[in-house]
Structure formats: structure tokens, C-alpha cells
Structure 1
């Protein structure tokens, strides 16, 4: 047995776009439920990015609002189409063969929304797609295994209509939603298996895709490279903290409140910021300095007004902080900005 290609990530905790969360909001709305979290209008911003734990919080809210049955997970998974994945999906559908599409998907797996890490194995028994849920929180593991695998299978059918499964296996015991499995996968699975596995015919890899275009794939790959680079540069918790502080206008909400908004414990937030080489106070200072310079550049506000807008109780505290950041006072900075006009 050999692995087709190693997935680019080994854990679900990576920054994500908003398409998956938007899809879950729509799925819930169709069932008369409204999910908490980031407002939908903000999620539609083209370059909006989420921490994986934010998406996980939406998953838990969805389960609470509409139910956690296998039928819900499978129905949701079938809503993920190749177009849900943007440029990543467009690259896959433009690949020459299913092999090329799978290799591409594994290479750019952090542009997907999966929580269970897929491995593609080749053997005499066929092509095996195995999902690793070992790091997925236990309370949502079954739901996410079913959502992720049904989403993957739905996308594969978008790439190559008419494909079918040779065998489907899950580690958990039984289900009362047999028809939901048949609808999602075209077959009834075996339960109590050693791993979560979907097995296809071995010749699937070599089948050409009907919308193949190698030039398009090359262009998409370049855009995926750029997207991955941008996400990694802005990645994770530090950028999410910055975004919340900007939304608060630089006011110090406190680390406990920011952690609550990110659905993290304060201890975990502090650890993850430390691992990223920064800290809450440092990020607060960065945001306040940026906002202060923008406000002073306008020339419309006094130093006292800027201090008030940034949440300082006294202008003297702001003046001291600004001088520490820039080496000059706010008044001197404002005069210099005025002189450049």
C-alpha cells in the first residue's frame, strides 16, 4: 500500500475563508434557526479570514440549533460543491485527471474547510480515501467525519460525474439514517470498521476530467500560492485579535473578553500569541498606534479627542504611549503631517 501524496497539513487548526461558515448559516436559516458569531454581512467580505475554532463554534451552534443526527451531517456535506472552494475548487475541476486533482487538493488542503485530515492510499483493493479524525474534538467528531466525507464525495462527483463507491466504512457503531447514507453516497456503509474509509475503483485516478485545462490549472496554482502566502502571513490568532481591537476602535476590551469572542480560554489565547511571537499588549499597542496616526493625519481632531477615541482615560497616558511608539509626541506628529500637505 502506498500514499498518493502527503497532505500539506496534519491538523485542523488552520486559518480559513468564510464560505463554509456562510453555508452553515444558510443551512440553519432554511431550518428556521439563526446562528451566533460573526455577523453574516462581515463574513461576506472578500478577504475575510476566520480562525478554525470560530468555525468549530459555528458547527457546535448548528448542532444545538438543528440537531446532530447523521442525516443533518450528510445533508450539510452534500451542500459543499466545487464552487464553494473558490479558486481552489476551480483548479481541481480544471486538472487533467482525477489523480492530478487529488494531488492538487492535498497540496493545498489548507484552502479547504476540512476538520478530518484525508489520506489517499493505493493498493490492489482499490483507491482508498481515509479520514483521520484523531485530533477532532470528540463532541463533534462523528458529525464532522460525515460532513467532511460527504462533502469530499460530492466535490469528486462535480469533478467527474458518474463515479461510484466500491465500499464505505466507518468506525462508529450503526445508524438509524440508512437512507440518508444511500442518498449521500449511493451505498450503505459498514459500521464498526477499523477506520473511516471510502474505497473507489483503482482506475479512477487515471480518468480524464471533462473540464480539464492545463493553462487554467497553472494560473489557479499561482493564485493559490499567493492566497496561502497571504493567509500564513496574516494567519491565526494574532490577526484575529487585531481585527477585534480595530473593530473596538483601539479600546482595551481586556484579554479575557477577546478570548471569549474567539471562543478560547484566556490561557490558550496567551499561549498561542506567545507561540506566534507576540502578546496581547503588543497587539493593542500596534492597533492603537496605527489608529492614532490615521486620526492625527486628518488634522480634524485634537490630541485630547484622539486619546478619548482610543479609550484612554487621560490624554497624558496617550501622549506617553505615543512617544514610546514613535519617539515623538502626538502634537509634533500632527504638525509634521500638516506640513506635508
Structure 2
């Protein structure tokens, strides 16, 4: 879907700036409960697969300094810019509230090199007391002193963190078990964010007879209909909350011929009508 949108720099930043850690469920609560920046980055990288972010995060550490690099070179070129913008903005938006005192204390020792446009990101960066920021670079890196790594964070909660980590481990194990033909079908359904292929199309792409695909999915305890419903429910929330489409637009995008049918399905998934969900933000 992104590849079909007009070339409009800044969409990713607009979407990412709406992120909140609570959107990431248990992962978000785990991050908010971390005791130090070191612990936060360790937890974030360990459970990154539980988020909707797509950049790769790498940490480099020396005796005196640390460097965090965000890389999107593995993503298709036509959507790479969007995800760089979205994920950088998302990280700023989700961590500013509790990391601000720490950022302020080390503001003069932190620097950043970003591959995004200065004017697009400047409103968000005004929330962060970091003065040395270079834009239009070929990479996305943040440099900070190692001492900052082990400073205590104000919202640290060891009990909550341990509970969230235990549940994140369960979710990661569940994701591992979901690999197989189910994962392949799911990847086909999520490929174009709302432009879903038919069951026959998916079987053809997998070079498999439809009856064989139906049997293989049943062996893994699922069905194409169930996976399509899962994909629709996930994409519906993203299009309503992050992209800002209307209920009518989301209904059409997801392949429903009637808005009422989509509304009934959405209420079955989330317990509220899509219009009410949008108002809640």
C-alpha cells in the first residue's frame, strides 16, 4: 500500500509521532519499567519482534562511549524512507516522557546523525534537549557517553518488569511455534497492508493445490479464513489509528462491500465500533 501512495515526505513522521508505548502491549510496559538505559536497550532488542517497527537496532559500546544505529537497508527501497521516518519518530514519541530528565542531564554530550529532513523532524526534536544533530546523513546514529547508560530511569519498577518479561517470553515462544505454512500464508496476507490475496492466489504463490494448503493449515490448527480475519483486524487498527483513514475507507481497503459488515466484524474483534475506537485514539 505504501508503494502506491504519492511521494509525500513526512507521512512516516506523522504516523510515528502518534505512537505510544501502550500501543505495544506488554513490550511497552516492560520498556517503561526498565531501571536504566542499558536495560531498556537490552530489553528492546531482545523482544523487538513483538513490535510493529521495522528498522534494525544495533548497539556498539566502547570504554567511554556508546553508539546506537538504526538501519533500514534490508527494506525495499520504495518504502525504506517511510519506515525510517516512522520508527525514528516513534522512538522519540514513546520514550521522551520518561527519558527526558536523563536526556537533559547529558544534553551536551549526546549527538545524532540522521538520514531525515531537518524541517520534518524538528517539531519532535524540540521536545528533546539534544543540541548536536546533523541531518541528511547516509545513516541514523546516536552517540552518547557510557556513563549515561547506567543512570537510573525515573519510572523503574522491577516487579512490573519481571512480570512483563515473563509474558514477553511466552509471546516470543508462541511466535516461534507459529512458523511453518501458517507463517508463510500470514506473510502473504500482510504483504500489502489491506490488499489481501484470495485463498486461490495464495495457494498458487506457494505452488500448492488449494486442498493441500487447506489441509496443511488445518494440521497447524488454523484456516485461511481465520488468518484473513486476524490480518484484517490488525490492519484495521493500523489504518484507523496510525494512517488516519475513515471507517468507510478502511472498510473498502479491507475488501468489505458494506460498511455495516466491517463494523460488525470490528466490534466482534475489539468490543467497540470502529468509529468509537477512532475517537478514543
SS in 2 for 1:121: strand
CA distance in 2, matches of 1:244, 1:132: 24
Matches within 5 A, 1:1-341: 57=1, 59-60=2-3, 63-64=5-6, 68-70=8-10, 72-123=11-62, 126-164=65-103, 166-171=110-115, 177=120, 179-180=122-123, 182-183=125-126, 189-235=133-179, 238-239=182-183, 241=185, 255-256=200-201, 258=202, 266-267=204-205, 269-270=206-207, 281-286=211-216
Structure 2 gaps, min length 5: 190-197, 223-281
CA distance in 1, matches of 2:14, 2:212: 44
SS in 1 for 2:142: strand
CA distance in 2, matches of 1:121, 1:109: 17
Per the alignment, do residues 242 and 205 of structure 1 end up closer, same or farther by CA in structure 2, a change over 3 Å counting?
closer
CA RMSD of aligned residues (A): 3.5
Aligned-pair distance for 1:181? 5.9
Counterpart contact for 1:116–1:144, Cα < 8 Å: yes
Paired position in structure 2 for 1:33: none
CA distance in 1, matches of 2:183, 2:72: 27
Per the alignment, do residues 229 and 238 of structure 1 end up closer, same or farther by CA in structure 2, a change over 3 Å counting?
same
CA distance in 1, matches of 2:25, 2:35: 18
Counterpart contact for 2:93–2:124, Cα < 8 Å: no
Superimposed CA distance per residue, residues 110-159 of structure 1 (whole angstroms, 9 cap, x where no aligned partner): 01122110112224674322112111110111121121112122222234
Superimposed CA distance per residue, residues 266-318 of structure 1 (whole angstroms, 9 cap, x where no aligned partner): 54x44xx9xxxxx8543312567989xxxxxxxxxxxxxxxxxxxxxxxxxxx
CA distance in 2, matches of 1:243, 1:139: 19
Per the alignment, do residues 236 and 130 of structure 1 end up closer, same or farther by CA in structure 2, a change over 3 Å counting?
farther
CA distance in 2, matches of 1:242, 1:168: 37
Counterpart contact for 1:182–1:188, Cα < 8 Å: no
Aligned-pair distance for 1:100? 0.9
Return the structure number with greater relative CO, CA threshold 8 A, min gap 6.
2
In terms of Rg, which structure is larger? Answer: 1
TM-score normalised per structure 2 = 0.60
Aligned-pair distance for 1:180? 4.2
Structure 1 gaps, min length 5: 1-56, 246-252, 260-265, 274-278, 292-341
Counterpart contact for 2:96–2:128, Cα < 8 Å: no
Paired position in structure 2 for 1:50: none
Count of residue correspondences: 207
